[in-house]
Structure 1
Amino acid sequence: MRHLRALVAGLLTASLAFAPRPAAAQPRTLTPGDLFDLEYVAEPAISPDGEWIVYVRRWSDRATDRRYGNLWIVRSDGTGHRPLTTGRTTESAPVWSPDGSRLAFISTRGGTPQLWVRWMDRGDELPLTHGAEAPSAPAWSPDGRQLAFLQLVRTPPLVIGTPLTPPPGATWAAPPKYTDRLVFRQDQIGELPTGFVHAFVIPADGGTPRQVTRGDYHHGGNVYGGGAVTWSADGAELLMAARRGDNPEWNARETDLFAFTVASGEVRRLTQRFGPDQSPAVSPDGRWIAYTSFDDRKQGYQNTQLHLMARDGSGMRVLSARLDRSVSAPVWSSDSRTIYAQVDDEGNTKVARFSLDGAFEYVARNLGNGNSAYSGGSFSVARDGRLVVTASTPAMPSELVLVTPGTVRGGKTVPPRTLTAINDDVLNGKTLGAVEEIWYTSAKDGRRVQGWIIKPPGFAPDRKYPLMLEIHGGPFANYGDRFDEEKQLMAAAGYVVLYTNPRGSTSYGEEFGNLIHHAYPGDDFDDLNSGVDAVVAKGYVDANNLFVTGGSGGGVLTAWMIGRTNRFRAALAFYPVINWESFVLTADMSSMAVNNWFPGFPWDHPENYAKRSLLSVVKQVRTPTLIMTGEEDFRTPMSESEQYYKALKMQGVETVLVRVPDEPHGIRRYPSHEAAKITTMVGWFAKHRATVP
């Protein structure tokens, strides 16, 4: 099933072909219009008996220029694939009841997100909530009689003084907005409502929600829809992370674990230390609580470790000490003897299975979101130990894969089974750019750096191609061997695309990640520049046609590169940070930036801020540069891009500023805007491309 599959004929045909070819040799490639047609699997939920998988199928609609997500179901053998919900709605967070007879989920049908339950035998559905605030993170009680969820409880907005009251029938302007909060607007959300996120319970057959947590604190770990809540094995308590310490806005990473009695709301503290205690998972036998955490040393990057403690909070110990990688999303096996968790390892997202003595093995790999080379993806575990993962490889955007570890079938090796093929209709007959892994050494200190090369469809090794260096953001993140729609479109435009994991990237251990601690941007220049040298040395790149781009932290490093070298013919910086002082005083992540990325406040450490500012190298820039940012970007605010644009403009550097309406960080809210990122890039680089001999 596809959603309005008509392609935009002839879109950018001239600019997407690098050089003329005979018609018979010209491969069919992806076009920006295909961004409306690619679909992605997300949030898989395998039934307790392992026989059915429900997942969210994300798609884009040409008529509304919006993204949606419906629930689909498929058997574990790949049969019975069909939709459970349809239409221009967004469903999310599917969760099976303990007996597998019902499914809870969040749906926007009717306009406002609400919590729904579906009876799987007959397909009957019931909305459990009807309020103005969106519920999130549904979790079944062990007996299947109740559901817990998180929801914002609003408090009155701040007002100073006594405002005038409009006379009857008058139309006055909107009143002033008052705030006394450090973070009063957030990327992807906008103006933050006043109030706090709390946990509720509601009868699974319908009834009135009852608030369990109290106080002026956010509960669930992440605020405004990003948290989680879990039940104790006996159903007596709700466990969750909460920011209930002093000055929680300033200590943005700090959370502790708490248990709340469902009947009374009585609170029991489980952890108390400085650091992010998150993702509590209770063993089925009720004895243990697994969770993720680290002691925050105020570094830019630290490994998040898998921890274990008894139900009363005693006996805390680290389970993942043997693994120099970060761990997330712990899930218990049904026998309470092992814990599954997600791990990024050298650009590949895997599922590791930990025994209670700290030993571990990888049981699944290639997890991904499907639309980007960034790490991501998710998994779900059945009672018999089978897993379903959202998988992505360079040639496979996004599909469900069933993994059967050897111990599940008596030690027999069972190969992974791909259950879906939701993008075959889009990719059929089209040639993707081939992806090749590369390792090279940095000119800075000889460190090995991992990267990937995408070659243009129809690649001929005896030709010379322009090269595009694409830099990831974060900066504490990683690229990997995952499908990336935007990079494939870059390759389809005739470019060799290089993307790498320079120092500071995750998935290579804590020491590598912290090489940029209080020193970003910095020596990552040499890592990236050495990668360009390594690809040029292969002989199929025209050294006179080098281009550089990246978003967010990649936009920072784009500006850093052209401030240090003039080897690139043109640059495109997406939503960069330019002035670190203005960034920490305007962005929605001010406290974390000051606490973890810098040695302190800018007025106490002006030298550190100044030497890392992109304005410190702007006078060396000669490269034609385009800057493109969303007007609702509160992560790297538009003022950063405007500073860079005007700095370049006043120096006579050829530059263009592109402001994208209604877009937050990333410019992906509307499919047409994501396509505009590619068409703008192709047009800008084509304008400055030298003729290839």
Structure 2
Amino acid sequence: MTLDNLKKTFSVIALALLCYLPAYAAEDKLSYKDVFAIEYAANPVMMPDGKTVLYERRSMDMMTDSMRINLWTVNLDGTDHLPLLSGKASHRAASFSQNGKKMAYLSSKEGKTQIYVRHMESGKTARVTDVQMGPSGLSFSPDGKWIAFSMFTPTASKKLFSIPFRPKGAEWAKEATYIDSTLFQRDGSGMRRPGNMQIYIVPADGGTPRQITKGAFDHGGRMAWSPEGDSLFISANRRPDNDMDIFNSDIYRLSIIDGSLTQLTSTSGPEGSPTLSPDGTMIAFTGFIDNGKSNQNSTLYVMSVDGSDVRELTPEVDRAIGDIQWAANGAGLYFSYDTYGKKNVGYVTLQGVSSVKTDALGGQSIGRPYTSGQYDATDDGRIIFTQSTGDRPADLAIVDRLGRVTQLTDLNSDVFAHKKINKPEIMPITSSHDGRDLLAWIVKPANFDPSKKYPLILEIHGGPHTAYGPEFSTEVQLFAAAGYVVVYGNPRGSTSMGSEFANLIDKNYPSEDYNDLMDMVDNVVAKGYVDEANMFVTGGSGGGVLTAWIIGKTDRFKAAVVAKPVINWISMVGTSDIYTFMTRYWFTKTPWEDVDQYWRRSPLSLVGNVKTPTMVLTGELDVRTPMSESEQYYGALRIQGVESALVRIQGAYHGIARRPSNLVRKVGNIIAWFDKYKDKEAE
């Protein structure tokens, strides 16, 4: 090779390397590489000693492009932060026996995920199962001798026809897949294998798991042992039409002796998360009576173990109740709920008197600023929780009964302490449409100067019945690091603002949520530091729907990225993995009965108005908002002569951020598209 050729080769390599480095990757700003260094706390569990909390330390593995989960402990005063089970494998989902002498957990240290038991006094660990599918939902029997768990149990594939004369050794195409189930695919796993989730028990010292439930129904989720240890309280939808009537689950008492079931509830909605009181006389559970609206808040109930004397404890809360836990004395229950963009822990007595313990849960939705958070309550009423600070992912913290908070871990100072990251700032808004109160947040770039003008990104959440809040968000912070002011919020239809607010878009989405999003933009512009000639819009899933809707309504945005959208509600029916839900709860009739209501709410109906340069971005394996939706929109944009691009994220389902490299690819493509159309003087 000549010297000139060597020089040319070196120049090409150098240019290629520079293309992979973001222009804003200064030491004091968040960079793409930092995504792989993020850690956060999850699933805190009080240990039997009453002094220590066990939790999952979740981190990104750059070499395997996945999340690694290890089990760590820390004292309630923040001392002795130590690994319990750590390494390249993932260890998670810990559960203790009632006497505290055994800890069951899931681990992949020998390849497939199996159940292991650690004997706490000796520190010795044994593998309990050797199963082919992934177990979940571990629960010790009262005497500690058995572990109940749920596991997908395949059944034989059906065939209607098979060619009978295939020669031995012939290399033919694979057999056709015969499907006669309604919901035959599931986002995150793809085409569903024939089979269902079933409940098993296995000796805690190891042995052969025994299947307890039977039939073509899914049995899983949270379960509770009876005090006698002869049965389990479970939730399942065992109706013959459960694929169509998806909410109608009930609570059953399941005999572990013969597998017989006794139905304890029978209302029209879902009853789930059965949780036994400390004295064994009552079951707490969550649920709602199905009213057909697109958003319905679960509430908290208690009943006797025989299913009698059902009482609702939280009728005045008007928020979706979850993650319930009995107080140690049995006098009430703790629960979590979202309100005004924050996740709280509440407490309610058996007389229905409720109070707030903390409003600071969060920090676990690493991609976008969704509400999140987990907790555990101590016997004396303190709350250990994953803490939201707005500028870092979740650490563990504890709040005492006087409201004093102590942070227990510091997982990200190595990444964030030397970075300039601005916390989300709340921006209350009054709707120009009907005067309602709205909530939004602004995240400013590092070294923000209010005398300057900055480009703006409007980021829209999915759902649409979900909520954003003042959370740390890798995506939002990377936008800010690239020099953009970012605004996001909760338009009508969002949760955490009450059922009436959420159902303003019932059978009417998208609609006036468009006006709410424009109000958010107008309120930021009014502050004087936004360059109105350089405004951009993006959103994913439900936010992708609204992004496409917005650019069909207005040309005020310089460019747009429509991520994993629904573009045509008519074609969505029959291709999404939730089509039976959509036709029943989001529309009043099927498309063939009333095509107009589907079409007038489809962003594709507005594509003739679009002039905004638009990128469409979706996971290649997505079956929640299938790739065909994005392909339709991209094709329509090209026919219209709109500057456009289609980005297919390989190996990704609807949750693109599941793999850290795909999170980076998503954000990197969005920023590159916006930078392409941003005026150079705005940089």
In structure 2, what residue type is equivalent to 1:452? W
1:374 aligns with 2:365: no
String of CA shifts for 1:421-443, please: whole Å, max 9, x gaps: 11110112111023210111122
- The CA distance in 1 between the partners of 2:660 and 2:264, in whole Å, is 44
Deviation at 1:577, TM superposition (A): 0.6
Give the direction of change, closer, same or farther, for the CA distance of 1:203–1:460 in structure 2 (3 Å limit): same
1:392 aligns with 2:381: no
Which structure 2 residues correspond to residues 241-280 of structure 1 after superposition, within 5 A?
241-280=235-274
Q: In the alignment, does 2:461 pair up with 1:453?
A: no
Structure 2 residue aligned with 1:671: 660
Amino acid at match of 2:509: Y
Deviates more, 1:647-656 or 1:441-450: 441-450
Q: What secondary structure, in the 3-state scheme, does the structure 1 residue paired with 2:658 have?
A: coil
In the alignment, does 2:493 pair up with 1:504?
yes
For 1:60 and 1:279, how far apart are their aligned partners in 2?
A: 30
Find the counterpart in structure 1 of residue 24 from structure 2: 16
Q: Which moved more, 1:468-477 or 1:150-159?
A: 150-159
**Equivalences for residues 238-637 of structure 1 within 5 A:** 238-368=232-362, 369-371=364-366, 372-404=368-400, 406=401, 413=402, 415-637=404-626
Other structure's SS at 1:228 match: strand
Amino acid of the residue matched to residue 398 of structure 1? A
Give SS of 2:621's match: coil
CA distance in 2, matches of 1:288, 1:150: 23
Q: Deviations over 1:218-237 (max 9, x none)?
A: 112xxxxxx22221233232
Q: CA deviation at 1:318?
A: 1.1
Within 2, Cα distance between the matches of 1:36 and 1:385?
A: 36
Q: Give a deviation string over 1:503-556, Cα, whole Å, max 9, x none.
A: 000001000000000000111000000110000000111111110001100111
Query: Structure 2 CA distance, aligned partners of 1:168 and 1:85?
Result: 50
Question: What do the CA deviations read for 1:274-321 (whole angstroms, capped 9, x no partner)?
Answer: 111111111011111111111111111011111111111111121101
User: Does the 8 A contact of 1:370 with 1:392 survive in 2?
Assistant: no
Contact 2:107 2:113 in 1 (8 A): yes
Question: 3-state DSSP class of the match of 1:229?
Answer: strand
- Equivalent AA in structure 2 for residue 143 of structure 1: D
Displacement of 1:12 in angstroms is 6.0
SS of 1:554's equivalent?
helix
Corresponding residue number in structure 2 for 1:62: 62
- Quote how far apart the aligned CAs of 1:323 are: 0.9
Look up the equivalent residue of 1:31 and give its one-letter code: S
Distance 1:14 1:47 in 2: 44
The separation in 2 between residues aligned to 1:164 and 1:95, in whole angstroms, is: 51
Shift of 1:463: 0.6
Q: Paired residue for 2:631? A: 642
Look up the match of 2:127: 127
Contact 2:197 2:219 in 1 (8 A): yes
Task: Identify which range, 432-441 or 565-574, moves more after superposition.
Answer: 432-441
**Which amino acid is the alignment partner of residue 287 of structure 2?**
S
* Cα contact 2:489–2:520 (8 A) shared by 1: yes
Give the alignment's Cα RMSD to 1 decimal: 1.7
Q: Which has the higher contact order (CA 8 A, sep 6+)?
A: 1
The secondary structure found in structure 2 opposite 1:143 is coil
Q: CA deviation at 1:465?
A: 0.5
Q: How many aligned positions are there?
A: 665
Specify the alignment match of 1:50 in structure 2.
50
Once the two structures are TM-superposed, the CA of residue 10 in structure 1 deviates from its matched residue by 7.3
Q: Which moved more, 1:626-635 or 1:366-375?
A: 366-375
Q: 1:105-153 CA distances to partner (integer Å, 9 max, x unpaired)? A: 1112222111111122332111111011111100111222211100122
8 Å Cα contact 2:153/2:198 also seen in 1: yes
Aligned CA distance change for structure 1 residues 324 and 652 (closer, same or farther; 3 Å): same
| CA distance, structure 2, for counterparts of residue 330 and residue 124 of structure 1 | 32
Checking the alignment, whether the CA contact within 8 Å between 2:65 and 2:659 is kept in structure 1 is yes
Q: Secondary structure at the match of 1:668?
A: helix
Secondary structure of the 2:596 match is helix
Letter in 2 for 1:486: E
User: Counterpart of 1:564 in 2: which secondary structure?
Assistant: coil
Q: Hey, what's the Cα distance between the residues in 2 that align with 1:9 and 1:128?
A: 48
Looking at structure 1, the residues matched to 435 and 93 of structure 2 have their Cα atoms a distance apart, in angstroms, of: 45
CA–CA separation in structure 1 for the residues paired with 2:351 and 2:163: 63
Deviations 1:364-413 (A, max 9, x none): 22212151411222112233333221122212311111222x2xxxxxx3
Q: How many Å separate the matches in 1 of 2:163 and 2:131?
A: 29
**Contact 2:494-2:501 within 8 A present in 1 as well:** yes
DSSP-derived class of the 1:680 partner: helix
Which stretch has the larger CA shift, 48-57 or 624-633? Answer: 48-57
Shift of 1:591: 0.8
Q: Offset at 1:690?
A: 2.0
- 3-state DSSP of counterpart to 1:84: strand
- Tell me which moved more, 76-85 or 523-532: 76-85
TM-superposed deviation, 1:414: 5.8
